[in-house]
Structure 1
Amino acid sequence: MRPYSLAYLNAHRCTPPEAVRVAAATGYQFAGLRLWPNGPSAPQQFLIDRPDVLRETLAALADTGVGIFDVEIIRIGDSFDPHTWDSLYDACAALKAKAILVAGDDTNEARLTENYARLCEVMAPYGLTADLEFMPWTAVKDANTALRVVQNAGMPANAGILVDALHFGRSTTTLDDIRALPRQLLHYAQICDATAGTHFSTEDMIHTARCARLLPGEGNIDVRGLFAALPADLPVSVEVVHHEREKTADPTQWAATCLAASRPFTG
């Protein structure tokens, strides 16, 4: 059976233990958490340096059998130090998380590549993969760029490339590009839908990604083709955030709706 994970953005209204319990109640095998914000003062879930929240989350994991799959987020900029996130690695180890989502912001690709290799080295003792997500408004704009960075970094054993259906549909990435990704670099993929195309402004792309994704089948991204091109057993992170629609559905209802809409597209 293909595993499903409840992505942070799909449960952004929940605390970490709440997200675990929502995932369990709605049929997910895993949950994802954002324990580090994607920018200064940006939304996140608070657990680092909060032992009470960690204890409650660990209790929820033990009670439900749900696991933590991915934790967000590390951004590689021009002044990158992998030890900035030491407390995040420790939290991931305590939660037995599998992956950390990585964004590449440094437009100097040689330096970005070197720093990605350093990150993989620092994360390796924690048993974590460093899953580089291509996003068309970042320095890692498409799947080919992500693959080039990982290959030029020396293909570390814990390297990874994260495929998000939204960024596939809004970048120049093709299904052939997806099929060309080495299997050992694929640890999970994110599902949602939207209007496809490469004509959107950065502001529009970020707004959709963070606030207004569609359920699979509601847009015109080739979601079915994408997941047919990915390994059949690849875990799927359901990442359908839509702030307006969530006003009329509690987190459990929304998580269930999103999983039901995703299953037909993932085999």
Structure 2
Amino acid sequence: MSQHLSTAEPPQGANVPSGGSASARARIYSLAYLSSHRCSPPEAIRVAAQAGYAHVGLRLWPNAAGAPQQFLLGRPEVLRETLAAQRDTGVGVFDLEIIRLDADFDPQRWQALYEAGAALQAKAILVAGDDADEARLTANYARLCEVMKPYGMTADLEFMPWTAVPDAKAALRIVQNAGQPANAGILVDALHFGRSSTTLDDIRAIPRSLLHYAQICDAQAGTGFTTEQMIHTARCERLLPGDGNIDLQGLFDALPADLPISVEVVNFEREKSASPAEWAATCLAASRPFVER
């Protein structure tokens, strides 16, 4: 690990919700990057604490060159401030974004992300599959899991209908063909469930050991959208749970009842009238009825 990361102090009491009733704390919630994209990493943690989340997700690596992200890698002062926010609030970091498995994949490229995850005591890194050669993608996923093993995080492969891992069946096949490493995982995003060929039976077929968290939002369901439309919704115009027609109740009934929930609702237009803390609280309140049972 690099010197400025290996000497950082871990947060004390992280992963403990900051408020709310006992029933509200029964389900673990994480404030996803897309729900707090206006915030720096320490700001996101403080917003999460104010709104009643136990964790945050941070996008420390952009999903495309020049795309939006939160800046922390290579900035030791931001890491120190983020760790201080964790200690002050008890809010932990659940997942980091994002690693993309493409034809030129080199697991060492993300060394700084692994080190940041270890320093922040993150639990997972979100992984996307972009290589149309499934055999190579599978081999590279296995390599990634091996490289990440010393850092104590899972590599959670997210299926997205416009990628080389378009549905839950493909994600499960890749993970199983990779040998199902101990730190392997599959990430279920409600949006991609609703816009792919994935069925509730496909969700139930995912072994519990591969499920570490799931993401919630809403949208208009269906498989007739163009790639551009799907990406636009995913990155700019998700709906609050209950405002679309994805079968959220069916989905979260099919998933384990104790699975941590990442609340991932980005909607540029609706967010204009709310502060980051107000939006985070609104998203959490809309999510709870579908997952607390």
TM-score in same-fold range (> 0.5): yes
Q: Give how far 1:2 is off.
A: 1.1
2:224 is aligned with what amino acid? H
**Aligned position for 1:83:** 108
Secondary structure (helix, strand or coil) at the match of 1:172 reads coil
Q: Does 1:222 align with 2:261?
A: no
Q: Percent of counterpart pairs with the same letter?
A: 76
Q: Which ranges of 4 or more aligned residues in structure 1 deviate by more than 6 Å?
A: none
The equivalent position to 1:111 in structure 2, one of 99, 116, 136, is: 136
TM-score, length of structure 2 as denominator length: 0.91
The equivalent position to 1:97 in structure 2, one of 122, 134, 139, is: 122
Note the 1:5-44 alignment, pairs <5 A. 5-44=30-69
Q: Give how far 1:65 is off.
A: 0.3
Counterpart-to-counterpart distance in 2, 1:27 and 1:176? 32
Note the 1:60-75 alignment, pairs <5 A. 60-75=85-100
**Aligned position for 1:152:** 177
Secondary structure (helix, strand or coil) at the match of 1:200 reads coil
Secondary structure (helix, strand or coil) at the match of 2:241 reads coil
Q: Give how far 1:71 is off.
A: 0.2
Q: Give how far 1:116 is off.
A: 0.1
Counterpart-to-counterpart distance in 1, 2:279 and 2:27? 20
Secondary structure (helix, strand or coil) at the match of 1:264 reads helix
The equivalent position to 1:128 in structure 2, one of 144, 153, 160, is: 153
TM-score, length of structure 1 as denominator length: 1.00
Counterpart-to-counterpart distance in 2, 1:130 and 1:178? 18
Q: Give how far 1:21 is off.
A: 0.2
**Aligned position for 1:231:** 256
Counterpart-to-counterpart distance in 1, 2:101 and 2:34? 21
Note the 1:141-220 alignment, pairs <5 A. 141-220=166-245
Note the 1:47-66 alignment, pairs <5 A. 47-66=72-91
Paired residues in the alignment total 267
Counterpart-to-counterpart distance in 2, 1:41 and 1:194? 27
Counterpart-to-counterpart distance in 2, 1:248 and 1:26? 17
Q: Give how far 1:24 is off.
A: 0.3
Q: Give how far 1:263 is off.
A: 0.2
Secondary structure (helix, strand or coil) at the match of 2:56 reads strand
2:40 is aligned with what amino acid? T
Q: 1:80-122: CA deviations, max 9, x gaps?
A: 0000000000000000000000000000000000000000000
Counterpart-to-counterpart distance in 2, 1:248 and 1:127? 39
Runs of 5+ unmatched residues, structure 2: 1-25
Secondary structure (helix, strand or coil) at the match of 1:163 reads strand
**Aligned position for 2:6:** none
Runs of 5+ unmatched residues, structure 1: none
2:67 is aligned with what amino acid? A
**Aligned position for 2:283:** 258
1:252 is aligned with what amino acid? A
Give the CA RMSD over aligned residues: 0.3
